[in-house]
Structure 1
Amino acid sequence: MSLTSPAALFWFLLAIPIVIFYLLKIRLRRVPVSTTMFWNQIYEEKKPRSIWQQLRHLLSLLLQLLFLALLAFALTDPLFFWETDQKRRLVVLLDRSASMQANDSEDGSRFDAAKDDIHNMIRTLRSRDDMALIAVGATSEVVTGLTGHHRTLHQAVDNIEATDQPTVFREALTLANSLIEGHPNGEIVLLTDGGFDEFSEVSTAKHVSTQLYGKPDTANIGITQFQIRRNLTDPVGYEVLVEVINQSAQPAETRLEMELEGEIVDVIPLKLEPAQSWSKVLEYTSPTGGVLSATINSEDALASDNEAVAILSELEPQKVILVSAGNRYLEKVFSAIPLVELEVVTQQPETVPENGVLVFHRQTPEALPAGNVLVIEPEGSTDLWTIGEKASSPLIASQDKESKLMAHVRLDNVMLSEARQIEPKMEVTRLATSVEEIPIYFSHETDARKVVVLNASLDEGDLPLRTAFPILISNALNWFSGADAAFQESLATGAVRKIDVAELTEHGNKKLTANSEESKEADSNSETDPQSERVQTEVTPIMLAGPHESKTELIAQNDTLWLGPLNQVGLWTLSPVDEENKPVAETSKSSSPAPQIQIACNLSNRRESDLRTPELSDSTKQLQQAGFSFSPFWFYLVLFATLFSCVEWYLYQRRWID
Structure 2
Amino acid sequence: MHLTGLPLATLLQIGALAGALVVAFYILKLKRRPVPVPFSRIWERILRDKEATSLFSQLKRFLSLLLQLALLALLLFALGDPRTAANTIEGRNIVVLIDASASMKASDVPASRIDVAKEEVKKMVRGLSGSDRMLIAQMDAAVTPLSTLTSEVSDLEAAVAEVKATDATADFARALRFATDTLRGMSSPEIIVVSDGALGEASDAAGPVELGETKLAFVPVGKGGRNAAITQFSVRRYPLDKSRYEVMLEVTNTSDEALDLELSLFGDGQLTDLTRLKLQPQERLPRFYPNLSGASRTLEAKLALADGGADDLPADDRAYALLPERRRARVQVVSTGNMYLEAALLLDEYLDVTVIDPQRYPGNGNFDVTIFDGVTPNVAPGSGSLLYLNPTGTNVPFEVSKEIEDTDANYRLGFDELDAKHPIVRYTALSDVNIARARVLKGEKEDKVIGSSYKGPLLIQGRRAGVKFVALGFDVRESDLPLRISWPLMLLNTINDFVEEDTGYVSSFRTGLVWHIPAPSNAESGMLELPDGTKRSVPIKEGRAVFLGQQAGFYTLAVGEPGAEEKSMFAANLSSPTESSITPVPELKVQGRTAGEVGEFKIGVRREIWVYLLAAVLLMTAIEWLTYHRRVTV
TM range, normalised to the smaller chain?
Answer: 0.7 to 0.9
Q: How many residues are aligned here? A: 580
Partner residue in 1 for 2:122: 119
Letter in 1 for 2:285: W
Q: Deviations over 1:235-271 (max 9, x none)?
A: 7765533221111110012122223323545433322
Asked if 1:623 is matched to 2:627, the reply is: no
1:544 is aligned, of 497, 518, 528, to: 528
TM-score of the aligned structures, taking structure 2 as reference length: 0.74
Contact 2:229–2:580 (8 Å) recurs in 1? yes
C-alpha distance 342-248 of structure 1, shift in aligned 2 (>3 A) = same
**Counterpart in the other structure of 1:277:** 284
Question: Distance between the aligned counterparts of 2:29 and 2:355, measured in 1?
Answer: 126
Q: How big is each residue's C-alpha offset from its partner over 1:376-434, in whole Å with a ceiling of 9 and x where there is no partner? A: 9x9xx9887988999799973652322656555446667x7xx75x4649759895759
What residue ranges of structure 1 are gaps of 5+ in the alignment? 506-538, 579-583, 589-593
Structure 1 residue 571, shift from structure 2 partner: 0.9
Corresponding position: 1:396 with 2:412: yes
Distance in 2 of aligned mates of 1:39 and 1:326: 129
Unaligned runs of 5+ in 2: 33-39, 395-399, 444-448
Counterpart CA distance in 1 for 2:272 and 2:429 is 33
Match of 2:581 in 1: 610
Specify the code of the residue in structure 2 equivalent to 1:623: V
In structure 2, relative to structure 1, the CA distance for the partners of 1:233 and 1:545 (3 Å cut) is same
Task: Return the match for 1:309 from 303, 312, 320.
Answer: 320
SS at match of 2:583: coil
Q: 1:202 to 1:222 in 2, by over 3 A?
A: farther
CA distance in 2, matches of 1:81, 1:21: 38
Structure 1 residues 597-620: Cα deviation after superposition (integer angstroms, max 9, x where no partner): 212111111222111101226943
CA-CA distance at 1:153 after TM superposition = 2.4
Kept in 2, the 8 Å contact 1:288–1:315? The answer is no
Establish whether residue 476 from structure 1 lines up as the match of residue 491 from structure 2: yes
Are 1:59 and 1:657, in contact at CA under 8 Å, matched by a contact in 2?
Answer: yes
TM-score, L = length of structure 1: 0.72
Specify the alignment match of 1:90 in structure 2: 94
Change (3 A) 1:249 1:264: same
SS in 2 for 1:147: coil
Equivalent pair of 1:573/1:597 in contact (CA under 8 Å): yes
* Equivalent residues in 2 for 1:503-514, closer than 5 Å: 505=522
Of 280-289 and 383-392, deviating more is 383-392
1:180–1:186 contact (8 Å) kept in structure 2: yes
Task: Report matched runs for 1:458-537 at 5 Å.
Answer: 469-482=484-497, 485-489=501-505, 490-502=508-520, 505=522
3-state SS of 2:192 partner:
strand
What whole-Å deviation, never above 9, does each CA across 1:484-537 have from its counterpart, x for those lacking one? 73413321111112234126x4xxxxxxxxxxxxxxxxxxxxxxxxxxxxxxxx
Q: Secondary structure at the match of 2:537?
A: strand
Distance change >3 Å, CA 479–CA 55, structure 1 → 2:
closer
Letter in 1 for 2:218: T
In structure 2, the CA distance between the partners of 1:67 and 1:273, relative to structure 1 (3 Å rule), is same
**Cα distance in 1 for residues equivalent to 2:409 and 2:349:** 33
Distance change >3 Å, CA 26–CA 135, structure 1 → 2: closer
Structure number with larger C-alpha Rg = 1
Q: Distance in 2 between matches of 1:17 and 1:158?
A: 46
The yes-or-no answer on 1:300 pairing with 2:311 is yes
In the alignment, what sits opposite 1:261? 268
CA deviation string 1:278-334 (max 9, x = no partner): 12454336698522222212412222211111222234456586979997x998766
Q: Within 5 Å, which residues of 2 pair with 1:2-81?
A: 2-3=2-3, 4-5=5-6, 6=8, 7-10=10-13, 13=16, 41-42=48-49, 45-46=52-53, 66-81=70-85
* Shift, 1:557, TM fit: 3.7
Structure-2 change in CA distance of 1:63 and 1:175 (3 Å):
same
User: Equivalents in 1 of 2:570, 2:266: separation in Å?
Assistant: 17
Say if 2:267 and 2:294, in contact at 8 Å, map to a contact too: no
SS of residue paired to 1:553: strand
Compute the displacement of 1:104 (Å).
1.7
Q: What is the root-mean-square deviation of aligned Cα atoms in Å?
A: 5.0
For residues 69-90 of structure 1, the C-alpha deviation after alignment (integer angstroms, 9 at most, x for no partner) is 4344334332221111263433
Of the three residues 194, 209, 212, the one matched with 2:217 is: 209
Counterpart residue type for residue 576 of structure 1: V
Instruction: Give, in whole Å, the separation in 1 of the partners of 2:89 and 2:515.
Output: 49
Partner of 1:596, secondary structure, is strand
Q: Report percent identity of matched pairs.
A: 25
